[in-house]
Amino acid sequence: MAPASRSLNTRAVVAAVIGNALEWYDFTVFGFLTVVIAKLFFPASNDYASLLLSTATCGVAFVMRPIGGIVLGLYADRAGRKAVLSLVIALMTLGIVLLAIARPYSAIGIGAALMIVLGRLLQGFFAGGEFGSSTALLIQARAILQTRLLRQLADGEPGGGAAARCGGGRADYARLAARRVEILGLARALHFGFDHRAGRLVHPPASCRV
């Protein structure tokens, strides 16, 4: 393989790995903040009802994932993987922004819950499209990669973001549970705000189009 071609394929794999890790971090962090979100964005008259609503909101993303996979998969067949991955990284940021800037239920009422649900729907839709496209790209790239490390990255990448989030989840939850609701809200904004800024930095190179 020519050095230039090898370099382009390396960049494609690294970009896909980083992008997918960020997407799954975004997707799974909501689950670890379910209790926080229940307190902040759903009616506080019944703690159990608020927690159930927050858990259901976490689950609606899984309803949207296959829809996103079908719609964006069809688009990838026409426009290529690079176009889909760039679109997903850009537009999933919209859902993250909604989660990061949403005002609490005490400030805007039902509008808070609607913003959280909409943000989660966007996350699920675009995560579904991203997973299929990035996995297909990595499977195709693996066949022509000559570096063992990059092949291992291509094989193990899809769960990387979720594993990273789960690794620190218990410590995050222990810290959050010990604080007041106001500080929990700040932690939630910092979590999703970081995801928003990080997502803007990752764009698959042009060589990823397959």
Q: Give the mean model confidence (pLDDT) for residues 144-161.
A: 50
* pLDDT score, position 18: 73
pLDDT tens string 70-95? 998 888 888 887 788 778 877 878 88
Query: For residue 135, with 0-12 CB atoms within 10 Å meaning exposed, 13-18 middle and 19 or more buried, which class applies?
Result: middle
Region of poorest pLDDT, from 2-6, 46-50, 65-69, 178-182: 178-182
Tokens of 3: 């050095």
Task: Quote the percentage of the chain above a pLDDT of 90.
Answer: 5
Look at 143 and 32; give whichever has higher pLDDT: 32
Q: Which domains does the chain have, with CATH numbers?
A: 15-201 (1.20.1250.20)
Quick one: residue 42, left, alpha or beta (phi over 0 = left, psi -120 to 50 = alpha)?
beta
Check if the beta carbon of residue 130 is closer than 8 Å to that of residue 92: yes
* 52-56: long-range pairs with CB below 8 Å, 24+: 53/113
- Give 115's pLDDT tier (boundaries 50, 70, 90): very high
- Average pLDDT of the chain, as a whole number: 70
**Per-residue confidence (pLDDT) for residue 117, from 0 to 100:** 92
The C-alpha R_g of the chain, in whole angstroms, comes to: 18
Q: Residue 118: what pLDDT?
A: 92
Indicate whether 204 pLDDT > 70.
no
Is the pLDDT at 200 greater than 50? The verdict is: no
Q: What percent of the chain has pLDDT over 70?
A: 55
How far is Cα 70 from Cα 123, in angstroms, rounded to an integer? 15
| Per-residue pLDDT, 142 | 59
pLDDT tens, 37-62? 888 888 878 888 888 998 899 888 88
User: Residue 191 above 90 pLDDT?
Assistant: no
The answer to whether residue 171 scores a pLDDT higher than 50 is no
**Mean of pLDDT values over 172-183:** 44
Looking at residue 145, its pLDDT comes to 52
More confident residue, 191 or 14: 14
Whether the model pTM is above 0.85: no
Would you call 147 helix, strand, or coil by DSSP?
Answer: coil
Q: Find out whether 25 and 199 touch, Cβ atoms under 8 Å.
A: no
